[in-house]
Structure 1
Amino acid sequence: MPTLRPTLNLGILAHVDAGKTSLTERLLLSAGVIDVLGSVDSGSTQTDSLELERRRGITIKSAVVSFTVHTPAGDTVVNLIDTPGHPDFIAEVERVLGVLDGVVLVVSAVEGVQAQTRVLFRTVRRLGLPVIVFVNKTDRAGADVPAVLAQIRARLGAPVVPMPVGDCAVDVLTGQDDDLLTAFVDGSLSDAMVQGSLRRQSRAGTVLAAYAGSAITGDGVDALLAALPGLLPSRCPAVDAPLSGVVFKVERGGNGEKIAYTQILAGCLRVRDRIPVRGADAKVTAIQVFDDGTAVPRNSVEAGRIAKVWGLTDVRIGDAIGEYRATMGQLFAPPTLETVVVPDAADRTAVHTALTQLAEQDPLINLRQDDVRGELYLSLYGEVQKEVIQTTLTEQYGVAVTFRETTMICAERVVGVGAAVEHIYRNPFLATVGLRVEPGTPGSGVTVRLDVPVETMPLFVYKAVDVFRDALEQTVRETLQQGLRGWRVEDVVVTLTDCDYNSPGTTAGDYRKLVPMVLMEALRQAGTVVCEPVHRLTIEGPADTLSAVLRLLAQHGAVPYAPVPAGPAFELTADVPAAEVHAVQQRLPAVTRGEGVLEAEFDHYRPLRGRAPERARTDLNPLHRKEYLLHVLRRV
């Protein structure tokens, strides 16, 4: 079976209000898939389809649209994914990055490199994704393209080649291309050699080609569109390979059915196919493929395309389709804020159902239910996200809620070494489990190790040790979501030190039920300290407002570092508790005459001084042996 046309999965990334969605709209017009240019202000764009997005004028959910770029070298199908620019919706960006081949980073010609620009660029660099820059809003008063390109070089630390290619491009390109440098020195340099080096280095992500123009007027957009297939790497997936794909977005249809946004990397997926999803077969009932600006019903979707798939009832974001095995991990810091949802008494069940569906679309909101108090908890990146959730619940689900004051999500760190063991016949389960807990290195998360001889393991374990380790790790991670004081335990090493069984009666369930009890006792022996999340702020402002900024930071518990003078301005970094970031952001314009610029990013956890706050548990504490066993045995 022949291969398909080359495809390019393209992400449009930017700080909020840089013109990302307007550029997407203009690209669609230039590609011929729409006849009339939509407007963010009027709410008529293709990708901002939610009423809430149109009303607020911001992108909240990622959106997919497909078009074809025609070049003398052939056609390339571009699957373009528009992403949110507001930092409160960074989780939506994270889910998209894993399916991209390249990125267009939009930077305002007036505001220049902004806080979210830097966060996004560092992340795509870490992933090795090639980037093209589009300096937007050149039609606006105050636009300064050379100054913005200088900012990109200085603040992003990236070599930039202004387009169209000029003399200065050779200086940039020869710095990383010895053959080009040799040709330059011996006088044999040609335009074709320069263009070839630019294509190679751009696709490899070592230089940034920078276009400038206006998404509103269309200036520069045609040139950007034509350059996409040459400057970013496309793929030629074969349909005769085994099925492989990944689900990167989940939403609900008008009848409440799940719709899985799926990238097909290889093979072909057809209506009525049965595929494994979370341990059970699911039947594909319908497919829509993104093609020429819209999603059209099809009986199948081939490699290289992105489709909406119906029928995968239990599917979640990140699930594999077929033989897909790659994993991206978490790219951005988890949410550091939390709120309690308070529904009207009559709407309690409806609110839980609605929030469960929202958690399917955004797993990082981490919906938790306290069965004892009847309370629901949500994790957040910021106040705007909370407002959007509240509005969505009211308008989309018809339920009214209020939120309690946003608080920090703390963490617990192990301070010593602890060990515990539960022997077979001395507990209700046909198993022995011994665990040791000790501190891990900062940023290491949860590490699980096996330190027992295989002969102490049941037959079903040592024939599949990797499966057992994965199951053990999953149970350990779930248990450590609530430590001694109710907070998630970070940076810890858990080692299985003892294991026994009673053949043939012992099952995997015996270990799953016993591990939480042993783990929490080992944790109690080790001890923990509660830590608060700390954000690193970078603030720029007029030099004469530095004293006022320092006073503002002191009022919110920040620890500033030495400011760096920059002519008539200053740059300052400071560590501030996550709970205070929003207040600093709100008050900064007043003390800097509206000229202050702030970038905030999670940096680390630090031990809290004074009495450590406790978080109400949402389950029965395995440390309370009798209650835990009664609960588990009743459930069995």
Structure 2
Amino acid sequence: MKLLNLGILAHVDAGKTSLTERLLYAAGVIDEVGSVDDGSTQTDSLALERQRGITIKSAVVSFTIGDVTVNLIDTPGHPDFIAEVERALSVLDGAVLVISAVEGVQAQTRVLMRTLQRLRIPTLIFVNKADRAGAQYDGVLTSIAGKLSPAIVPMGLAGGLGSRSATFTPYGPDHHPHLLEVLTEHDDELLATFVENEKAISYDDLRRKLAVQTKQAVVHPVYFGSAITGAGTDALTEGIREFLPLAAQDLDAAVDGAVFKVERGPAGEKVAYARMFAGTAHVRDRLRFGDGGEAKLTALEVFGEPAATEVRAGQIGKLWGLADIQIGDRIGSSRHEGGGFFAPPTLETVISPVRRSDKGNLQVALTQLAEQDPLIDLRQDDLRQETYVSLYGEVQKEVIQTTLVTEFGIEVEFRETTTICIERIDGVGQAVEFNKKDENPFLATVGLRIEPAPAGAGVGFELEVELGSMPYAFIKAVEETVRETLGQGIHGWAIPDARVVMTHSGYSARQSHAHAVFDKSMSSTAGDFRFLTPLVLMTALKQAGTTVHEPMHRFRLEVPTDTTRAVLAALARLRAIPQVPALAAETSTLEGEIPAAAVYRLEQQLPALTRGEAVLESTFNRYHPVTGPIPNRPRTDHDPLNRRDYLLHVQRRV
């Protein structure tokens, strides 16, 4: 069986879900094309998706093109749900990027295309909405070449733009000068043949070369049409079959798969969506996954193959029985690939139930939502009995709120959204507390040195003590507590990058009174090291010092030239750092950096400043030291920076 796992990606409202409906209709999977406006589409199954006309959760449907079975993944287009797109990308063989013929290349379109190119995912471009008033052909092609990639090949000519009779006529053998020009940019052998004898190159040769370069993700065929009327979709379907690569199917290799989505079934059971890259998994097989997990596969469903009892390389399946599996887990190995292609969310808010009696149920519900979207990143403040959730934007907040009401019957409210900062270490600090000395109430010796680490390096833990100097369980307890403690620095923000070295260690060996059993009060336990480590680490951290950094977005802003002065003034008030503007007769371009906290305010101000004609795109760029008052985040632990209170709480627990 030939298989292709295909992603449909686009900026919100470009017509991506409508295109999915049209492809399913053309393949005979559905009897009529569903409408996003009417809420009758196959892939938007959530009530809020149907209500708002947007895709929130990725969905998988199957259809056939000739002898090829296509698993089509419809992904969200709204920037607030970029995490869903991220997970879908990890399982794709190819993609179709949908662009509106009216709005052209939009902010999210550029983010998606950059990611597709970085991951070298073969991509076709479909310019949708050719039947809408204001649809363009040359203008959109120019925009695609300038903003997405110059290596594009128009596959036909659009006619009747802006009317229901809009058409798309594929180019034939007599039209290939532009095709030859693009292909020779990436093929020296073809260029040499062209120079020696242009007539030796046939149209069939060029078509085959186009297929090769498209599968290598260096060239992108472009189609025009309308998902509503069906114009151009037949040509696109043929392009999917001809130009995108089939899934590799190594059935004899060891099982290797990736989990890209997790949901709960009707009985509350966990269901994992997984793409198999190699091997075959059968019902009742014991599968390894993630960080050492293992469980029996109790049931499965395979998209495009009813009544299957196995999921093979190249296929996408729904798996039951793997209760501890998480999004990002690798099936068949002890790996968790939690790292993503997109920046983490930079906003957070406190969520609380409207009815106090729902407090316990809210924790259970949020835990299940975090299973489906790990980037929600719940943070529990046990001291104030508050729960924080991280977000990409305000729409995501509405989705969480509606989901909790419809699926769990819990009404919630949010506090004002705030920005998530981080702390970076300024210098080197070290501290040590010895067993049975000074004011150390714990039967443990811990010495730590903390140093800065490059951005993105993570938290590294190293030993300057001998590994056999004390039981490994105690060393592991120190390492785990170090990582946990660095979740809140001097000002309460996480420290994502650090080098921590254990410089001193010591413990009290297992002891007992004469003729008596083990006496915990005379012997070290892992708890002694877990309680002492935060005090030592924070003492060292205070010596090293930290600086709070706020997230900065890279922005690109197109505005009417006569409004540039007013927009620059607004950017200055929002602490943006613009570059020299690129002025033009009608539309000017401003680029630069702006604090993430100010992006939402800028979006609100732009319509009034630019008569509603501004086009803004912004993406996370880096973290930058905070200027002005240092923002502090309320601590959710027992505050090891305050030794007296910390010991009071900890010893009371003991």
TM over 0.5: yes
Matched, 1:596 2:618: no
Q: Which residue of 2 aligns with 1:13?
A: 9
Q: Deviations over 1:110-163 (max 9, x none)?
A: 111110011111112222222111111111122112221211221124411111
Distance 2:345 2:318 in 1: 28
Which of 529, 534, 539 matches 1:521? Answer: 539
Would the aligned equivalents of 2:292 and 2:334 in 1 still touch at CA under 8 Å? no
CA separation of 1:6 and 1:405: change in aligned 2, threshold 3 A: same
Which of 577, 597, 600 matches 1:579? Answer: 597
CA separation of 1:489 and 1:184: change in aligned 2, threshold 3 A: same
Letter paired with 1:494? V
> What displacement does 1:22 show?
0.9
Distance 2:481 2:60 in 1: 36
Q: Deviations over 1:186-224 (max 9, x none)?
A: 222122221122111111111111111111111111221
Considering Cα pairs closer than 8 Å and 6+ residues apart, tell me whether 1 or 2 has the greater RCO: 1
Q: Which residue of 1 aligns with 2:388?
A: 377
- Number of residue pairs the alignment of both structures matches: 618
Distance 1:31 1:180 in 2: 36
Distance 1:530 1:497 in 2: 27
Distance 1:432 1:9 in 2: 55
* Unpaired stretches in structure 1, ≥5 consecutive residues: 463-467
Distance 1:556 1:30 in 2: 50
Q: Deviations over 1:348-394 (max 9, x none)?
A: 11222211111111111111111111111111111111111111112
> What displacement does 1:56 show?
0.3
Matched, 1:116 2:114: no
Q: Which residue of 2 aligns with 1:284?
A: 297
Matches within 5 A, 1:56-95: 56-70=52-66, 75-95=67-87
Distance 1:509 1:121 in 2: 50
Q: Which residue of 1 aligns with 2:162?
A: none
Q: Deviations over 1:232-257 (max 9, x none)?
A: 22223233322221211111122222
Matched, 1:495 2:501: yes
Matched, 1:32 2:28: yes
Would the aligned equivalents of 1:560 and 1:574 in 2 still touch at CA under 8 Å? yes
CA separation of 1:222 and 1:500: change in aligned 2, threshold 3 A: farther
Partner-residue secondary structure (3-state), 1:488: coil
Q: Which residue of 1 aligns with 2:484?
A: 478
> What displacement does 1:456 show?
4.8
Q: Which residue of 2 aligns with 1:138?
A: 130
Would the aligned equivalents of 2:465 and 2:503 in 1 still touch at CA under 8 Å? no
CA separation of 1:486 and 1:15: change in aligned 2, threshold 3 A: same
Matches within 5 A, 1:149-188: 149-164=141-156, 166-187=176-197, 188=200
Distance 2:179 2:478 in 1: 54
Matched, 1:387 2:398: yes
> What displacement does 1:440 show?
2.7
Matched, 1:353 2:359: no
Would the aligned equivalents of 1:242 and 1:323 in 2 still touch at CA under 8 Å? no
Which of 588, 610, 633 matches 1:570? Answer: 588
Q: Which residue of 1 aligns with 2:257?
A: 245
Matched, 1:362 2:373: yes
CA separation of 1:189 and 1:556: change in aligned 2, threshold 3 A: same
> What displacement does 1:268 show?
2.3
Matched, 1:200 2:192: no
Distance 2:446 2:116 in 1: 42
Q: Which residue of 2 aligns with 1:446?
A: 458
> Which moves more between the two structures, 266-275 or 85-94?
266-275
Q: Which residue of 2 aligns with 1:211?
A: 223
Distance 2:221 2:296 in 1: 44
CA separation of 1:630 and 1:331: change in aligned 2, threshold 3 A: farther
Matched, 1:544 2:562: yes
Distance 2:284 2:105 in 1: 48
Which of 502, 525, 530 matches 2:548? Answer: 530
Matches within 5 A, 1:44-55: 44-55=40-51
Distance 1:328 1:132 in 2: 28
Partner-residue secondary structure (3-state), 1:565: coil
Would the aligned equivalents of 2:444 and 2:528 in 1 still touch at CA under 8 Å? yes
CA separation of 1:449 and 1:340: change in aligned 2, threshold 3 A: closer
Letter paired with 1:52? L
> What displacement does 1:437 show?
1.8
* Unpaired stretches in structure 2, ≥5 consecutive residues: 157-170, 511-522
Partner-residue secondary structure (3-state), 1:566: coil
CA separation of 1:92 and 1:472: change in aligned 2, threshold 3 A: farther
Percent identity between matched residues is 56
Q: Which residue of 2 aligns with 1:465?
A: none
Letter paired with 1:199? A
Partner-residue secondary structure (3-state), 2:408: coil
Distance 1:584 1:454 in 2: 55
Q: Deviations over 1:578-618 (max 9, x none)?
A: 22211211221222222110001112222223331211112
Distance 1:510 1:239 in 2: 50
CA separation of 1:338 and 1:328: change in aligned 2, threshold 3 A: closer
CA separation of 1:481 and 1:185: change in aligned 2, threshold 3 A: same
Distance 2:85 2:479 in 1: 27
TM-score (norm 1): 0.90
Letter paired with 1:618? T
Distance 2:269 2:648 in 1: 37
Distance 1:92 1:541 in 2: 31
> Which moves more between the two structures, 84-93 or 344-353?
344-353
CA separation of 1:453 and 1:479: change in aligned 2, threshold 3 A: closer
Distance 1:632 1:77 in 2: 59
Partner-residue secondary structure (3-state), 2:363: helix
> What displacement does 1:258 show?
1.4
CA separation of 1:522 and 1:233: change in aligned 2, threshold 3 A: farther
Higher gyration radius (CA): 2
Letter paired with 1:65? V
Q: Which residue of 1 aligns with 2:347?
A: 337
Would the aligned equivalents of 2:328 and 2:336 in 1 still touch at CA under 8 Å? no
CA separation of 1:288 and 1:472: change in aligned 2, threshold 3 A: farther
TM-score (norm 2): 0.88
> What displacement does 1:520 show?
2.3
> What displacement does 1:415 show?
1.5
Letter paired with 1:231? F
CA separation of 1:324 and 1:30: change in aligned 2, threshold 3 A: farther
Letter paired with 2:247? R
Please tell me the root mean square deviation across aligned C-alpha atoms, in Å. Answer: 2.7
Distance 2:387 2:571 in 1: 33
Partner-residue secondary structure (3-state), 1:201: helix
Distance 1:190 1:430 in 2: 82
Partner-residue secondary structure (3-state), 2:636: coil
